[in-house]
Each structure stands twice: as C-alpha cells, then as structure tokens.
Structure 1
Amino acid sequence: MNEASDLLLADHLKKLKLPTVLREYEKQARQCAAENKGHVPYLSRLIELELIDRERRMVERRIKAAKFPAPKSLDSFDFKAIAALNKVQVLELARCGWIERRENVIALGPSGTGKTHIALGLGLAACQRGLPVRFITAAALVHELIEARDEKRLLRLQKQMLAPKLLIIDELGFVPLSKTGAELLFELVSQRYERSSTLITSNLPFEEWTETFGSERLTGALLDRLTHHVSILEMNGESYRLGQSRKTTQKH
C-alpha cells in the first residue's frame, strides 16, 4: 500500500471506530503472509481482536460508571476466614442469574467480616457480564436523595438510581436515618422492587433495622419488598479485616 492509501484507510477506520484494526492490520498482514493464510483468516483475526478489545473497553467503562471505591474480585476473598459464608452460594451469585431474575441479595454480619468485599466482587462480576452497576453507601445515597429533594431534582436522581440493573447499597445500619431519609430510601427500594436488583450490606440483623429506619411500619414494608425474592449471605464471624491484617503482619 502507498502512503495515500494508508492515510485513507486510517481515516476510514477512525470514522468506523475500529482502533484495534487500525493498530493491528499491518502486523496481522505480515503474520498471515508468513503463515500463508488468505484474506478471510486475516480479516477474521482482525475482527476478533477488535471485538475482544471492544468488550474490554466496555467492561472498563461499566466499572468506572459503577463508582466502586476499589475494584475487588471474589478471587481475592479468603472464604476460609468466614466459615459462616456459603462459598458455593456466592459463586453461584457471581453468575448473575439473580440479576436477570430481578432478585435481591442481603449480606449481614458484624463490621469487618468482608461484606463490602463480597458486594464489590459481585458488582465486578456483573460488570464483566455486561450489566450496568452502581455502588454507593447508604449514608451517601440518603444524603444525595435529601439534597435532590431540597433542590427539586429528586425525580431525576431517582431515575438515575433506577437505571442500573444492580444497585449496591453498602453499610446500611451504621448511621440512623432521619425520618425523611428513611422515607426516601424506602421509596427508591420500592421503585426498584421487581424491576431491578438491589444488594444491601448491613452490620445489623433484620430485627434491629427499626433502629436505623425509626419506624416499625416502614421497616416492615421495606423488608417485605427486599426479602420477597432474596438470597441472604450470613457473614458472622471474626473480623475478616483483622485476620487479613494479622496475616500481613506475620509475613513481615
């Protein structure tokens, strides 16, 4: 190919948004020529590389949009440290069928038992399977909802929070909610009920959720919706973080 043809091809590939083909076509041409392969295997290899790269970029965009505090996979979780946690159940949840069925997951256990890590791992698995995810702490979510209501943009925020196939609400129960905050959170969970999946982590058993929501009626109605189609992860045990910290200290 001459220089004019090269420039024209590069321009076409940029317009078609095929950056991997642009980057690889010369190298793959040389390789296929060396292997005595025709134009169809050459083209097939280029398109396959483009698709692999495109999927990787899409996963990266979904992870960024999810706003994870840190990307953590289930591969790095030490299931032996939390004997109460059902590893088979967690790995089955990582297949994301429950999200397709619009079911919920609730992870319960004391502080430090790895609930957030499991939530992040399941969120990452969902991103890798092409599902939009959003991660937020309960306190931050309630703060955003109250602020949006005060600024008359609550409907817009609710719409944003309804969009993800999976909404992860972390650390419910760490801070008691105001009456307004509790009602707004209940409203959002109700809107997502049987439309999309919600994953909640909490340091409180269900019978103590009234302390967070301040109303038995509201707590009962919320639990009715959350637990209608739910997988519950029991994560009672010694602090996972403390155990990990001890291991690190012993290594040094």
Structure 2
Amino acid sequence: MTKTEPTAEPADPKVLLSHHLKKLKLPTVLAEYEKQARQCAEAGVDHPRYLLRLVELELIERQRKMVERRVRAAKFPATKELASFDFKALPSLNKVLVTELARGEFITRRENIIALGPSGTGKTHLAIGLGLAACQRGMTVGFVTAASLVNQLTEARDEKRLLRLQSALAKFQLLIIDELGYVPLSQTGAELLFEVFSQRYERGSTLVTSNLPFEDWTSVFGSERLTGALLDRLTHHVHILEMNGDSYRLKQSKARRSA
C-alpha cells in the first residue's frame, strides 16, 4: 500500500483576501469589509447590499483623494471656500452668477472670468473658491499671481524650457491668474504673458483678477496694440464680476483698532 502524502493546509482566506485587495488597489474595501460585514449581519442586510456599501465607500474615498491631489496641484495660497465669502459686504457682486459659475459649466464651455475691483474686496478669495469648486468636480486647476507667472516664464525662456512650461500651463482646464495690474510688466514679460492667454484662447478657461479697469490695462502691458489683442481674446467668451466696495482688510483693521 502506498503511503498517502498529507494534503497541504489551505491558506488563510483573510490573508488571501488581503493580498488580492491590495493587488486590485482597493484599500478602503480592505479596511472596511469586516466592520461592514458585522453591521450588515446585525441589520439583516443581504449580500448585494453589503457589496454595494463596500464599493460606495471605495468610490467616496477615491473621490476624496482625487480632490486632495487636484487641490495640491493647483497650489492655492490658502483654502478659502465660497461658503465663507461675505456677499452682503459687496452688493455690486452678482451672487447668482457666482453660484452658477461654481457649477463649473463655464470651464466645460471654455469661457473666462474677469474679477475687477479695488484691493481688499475679496477677489482672491472668490478666485480660490471657484478654483476649489472646480477641483471638487474633477477638473484640473492652476493658481498663480501675474508677477510670479511672468517671472517663471522669463526664467524658463532663459533656461530654454519655455515650451515645456507653456505646455504645462495650457493643460490646466482652469488657470487662475491673480493680481494682474499690481506690478507693471516689462516688454518681454508682457509678451510672454500675452502668449499664455493666446495659447489658452478657446482651449481652456482663464480666471483673471485685477484692481484696474480695462482702460488702464495699457499701463500694465505698456502697449495699446498688445493690450487690445489680449482683451480681444480674453473677453470673447467672458463673465465679468464687478467687485467694487470697501476693503475687507481695511474694515477688519478698523474694527480691531476700535476694539
């Protein structure tokens, strides 16, 4: 009689499940399946609904991480939600339009936004809020001040990597250029910035904030011809947000002094 070899013990199903879920890159299912199984058993939930719970948890977590990645990539200077914006302090601002823009359909249509108003009226807050709303809807966003962008473009040109930077800027579905008009541009800087606007024309949305009315933009770009060509592209498909009012920062400073 031949001797029978002992059969190998089956691997622990928990170990195999953990291995397979890691391979499939389902970390939330791995972390939640036991807890959800207990809760579903206690509540008498059937297997399809148990699986549905796990899949929904995985999707929610992936969505959260995706938004986090897009917010980090945008390089916002701060996190400012539209919900915290004080619309009552700025009666000139069209709240209904801002709420509509937060849905992100203007980005799908490749339209632009220009927020105009004096310093301290919340233009940057509004721009960040709209940018965050776009990130939450899965869109790619970039944030940069006009002065910083011109410096980056100039350095890239000098280091012979301008095309790479221009290509990266063109890929953003929404590019926010903050504080246009605070610093006059050199001829080279103005031309490089104009090229960014030109490359995005009808290809991507651009949001610009400025403390200057359009008729004063020539003082920034130094050329009526260049300014006219820029405004022609930027205002072709545009939503203009009038933000005329007293400075938030000045109000807060006065309130602190009074206190």
Normalising by the residue count of structure 1, what TM-score does the alignment of the two structures yield? 0.96
Q: How many Å separate the matches in 2 of 1:35 and 1:175? A: 64
Residue 12 of structure 2 aligns to a residue whose secondary structure is: helix
Matched residues, percent identical? 72
Give, in angstroms, the shift of residue 245 of structure 1: 4.6
Answer yes or no: is 1:73 the counterpart of 2:81.
yes
Q: 1:39 aligns with which of 39, 47, 59?
A: 47
Q: How many Å separate the matches in 2 of 1:3 and 1:204? A: 71
Q: 2:233 aligns with which of 225, 229, 232?
A: 225
Answer yes or no: is 1:99 the counterpart of 2:107.
yes
Q: How many Å separate the matches in 1 of 2:165 and 2:33? A: 44
Answer yes or no: is 1:110 the counterpart of 2:118.
yes
* Structure 1 residues 23 and 180, CA gap change in structure 2 (3 angstroms): same
Contact 1:171 1:202 survives alignment (8 Å): yes
Question: How many aligned residue pairs are there?
Answer: 250
Q: How many Å separate the matches in 2 of 1:29 and 1:17? A: 20
Give, in angstroms, the shift of residue 192 of structure 1: 0.2
Q: 1:119 aligns with which of 108, 114, 127?
A: 127
Task: Give the letter aligned to residue 31 of structure 1.
Answer: Q
Q: 1:178 aligns with which of 178, 186, 192?
A: 186
Give, in angstroms, the shift of residue 82 of structure 1: 1.0
Give, in angstroms, the shift of residue 242 of structure 1: 2.4
2:176 is matched with: 168
Give, in angstroms, the shift of residue 92 of structure 1: 0.8
Task: Give the letter aligned to residue 203 of structure 1.
Answer: N
Contact 1:82 1:240 survives alignment (8 Å): no
Task: Give the letter aligned to residue 174 of structure 2.
Answer: L
Give, in angstroms, the shift of residue 112 of structure 1: 0.3
Task: Give the letter aligned to residue 26 of structure 1.
Answer: E
Residue 190 of structure 1 aligns to a residue whose secondary structure is: helix
Q: How many Å separate the matches in 2 of 1:86 and 1:138? A: 25
Residue 236 of structure 1 aligns to a residue whose secondary structure is: coil
Give, in angstroms, the shift of residue 118 of structure 1: 0.3
Residue 206 of structure 2 aligns to a residue whose secondary structure is: strand
1:148 is matched with: 156
Contact 1:126 1:132 survives alignment (8 Å): yes
Residue 92 of structure 2 aligns to a residue whose secondary structure is: coil
* Structure 1 residues 111 and 13, CA gap change in structure 2 (3 angstroms): same
Residue 169 of structure 1 aligns to a residue whose secondary structure is: strand
Normalising by the residue count of structure 2, what TM-score does the alignment of the two structures yield? 0.93
Residue 217 of structure 2 aligns to a residue whose secondary structure is: helix
Residue 69 of structure 1 aligns to a residue whose secondary structure is: coil
Root-mean-square deviation over aligned CA pairs: 1.4
Q: 1:215 aligns with which of 202, 213, 223?
A: 223
User: 4+ residue runs of structure 1 moved beyond 3 angstroms?
Assistant: 244-250
1:58 is matched with: 66
The gaps in structure 2 that reach 5 residues or longer are: 1-9
Give, in angstroms, the shift of residue 240 of structure 1: 1.9
Give, in angstroms, the shift of residue 244 of structure 1: 4.2
Give, in angstroms, the shift of residue 241 of structure 1: 2.3
For each residue in 1:45-96, what CA deviation from the matched residue of structure 2 results, as whole angstroms up to 9, or x when unmatched?
1001100111011011111110000111110000011111111111111111
Answer yes or no: is 1:133 the counterpart of 2:109.
no
Task: Give the letter aligned to residue 170 of structure 2.
Answer: L
Q: How many Å separate the matches in 1 of 2:30 and 2:254? A: 50
1:21 is matched with: 29
The gaps in structure 1 that reach 5 residues or longer are: none
